[in-house]
Amino acid sequence: MPASATLPLIRNELQVLSDLVPLEGLHIIELGCGNARLARQLLQAYPDSHVTGLEVDARQHAKNLADPQEHLSFVAAGAQEVPFPDASFDLALMLKSLHHVPLPLLDQALSEVARVLRPGGHLYVSEPVYDGPLNEIVRLFNDEGEVRAAAQAAVDRALDHGPWQQVAERRFDMPVHYTDFNEFEQRMMRPTFADHALTDELIQRVAVAFAPHCGPDGADFVRPMHVRLLRRLDQPEATS
């Protein structure tokens, strides 16, 4: 599936992040870090920085602990209750994770991020856009339309009422490849952090929708992404 004619194709999101924020020597927290792939790449490129990854999925957290890396630490916790003192970090990352925060706790999570960031620190929120052929397949078993919209609305509320200023925004396409439907099923339909209530009938429906996109070399999609970079102010900006 070709990339959008109007959006750049970005294979590694560290490129976007490093273009927006100087990453040398920072204390960074990633909320909902998953397998911490970007954090590991970041520390290879900027070895004088430190990253703390928060993860609520117990199985993924155990895997992270079993694969140590210098200047990278992991804590079992969620964004809605960050177990660190005020002003502990220079940069917070939420990479496709904000929409996984329970809806009633979205505002609390962003307040917690503001609390643990130093004044002048940044929050980098990267969220998938609810659009595109890959999304149409995924929504058959995991429709995230409501939660993705809620995540963006929570950022808007934080800007209206919290100590934040949006300083940058980026949109881009990220390529996604699956060798076959089996890989798609394992990665997308059977994650360790969610139960999509799969049945044989549902799996077959998804397989039929996936099939036209898959050739001898596998299936290629692009995932449209939306990045918002917020800076934490000393005090909330006055609103008129």
Number of domains in the chain: 1
For residue 175, the model assigns a pLDDT of 97
pLDDT digits (tens, 9 = 90+) for 102-120: 999 999 999 999 999 999 9
Q: Which residues contact 48 (CB under 8 A, 6 or more apart)?
A: 24, 25
| 189, part of any domain | no
For residue 193, the model assigns a pLDDT of 85
Q: Which domain holds residue 49?
A: 14-131+143-175+223-232
Distances in Å between the alpha carbon of 201 and those of 151, 182, 219?
Answer: 31, 16, 22
| 200, part of any domain | no
| 23, part of any domain | yes
| 156, part of any domain | yes
For residue 140, the model assigns a pLDDT of 98
Secondary structure tally for the chain: helices H, strands E? 8, 8
- Would you say the C-alpha torsion 98, 176, 42, 170 has a positive or negative sign? negative
| 95, part of any domain | yes
| 168, part of any domain | yes
For residue 113, the model assigns a pLDDT of 98
For residue 5, the model assigns a pLDDT of 58
For residue 234, the model assigns a pLDDT of 86
pLDDT digits (tens, 9 = 90+) for 57-76: 999 999 999 999 999 999 99
Positions in the chain short of pLDDT 70: 1-5, 235-240
Q: For residue 58, report the phi and psi dihedrals to the nearest 5 degrees.
A: -60, -40
| 43, part of any domain | yes
Report the alpha-carbon distance of residue 231 to residue 240 in Å, rounded.
20
**Residue positions counted in the chain:** 240
For residue 220, the model assigns a pLDDT of 98
CB atoms within 10 A of CB 240: 2
Position 165: which residue type?
Q
Among residues 105, 137, 109, 102, the alpha carbon closest in space to that of 123 is found at: 109
| CATH label of the domain that carries residue 165 | 3.40.50.150
Could you give the 3-state DSSP secondary structure of residue 70? Answer: coil
| 125, part of any domain | yes
**DSSP code for 17:** H
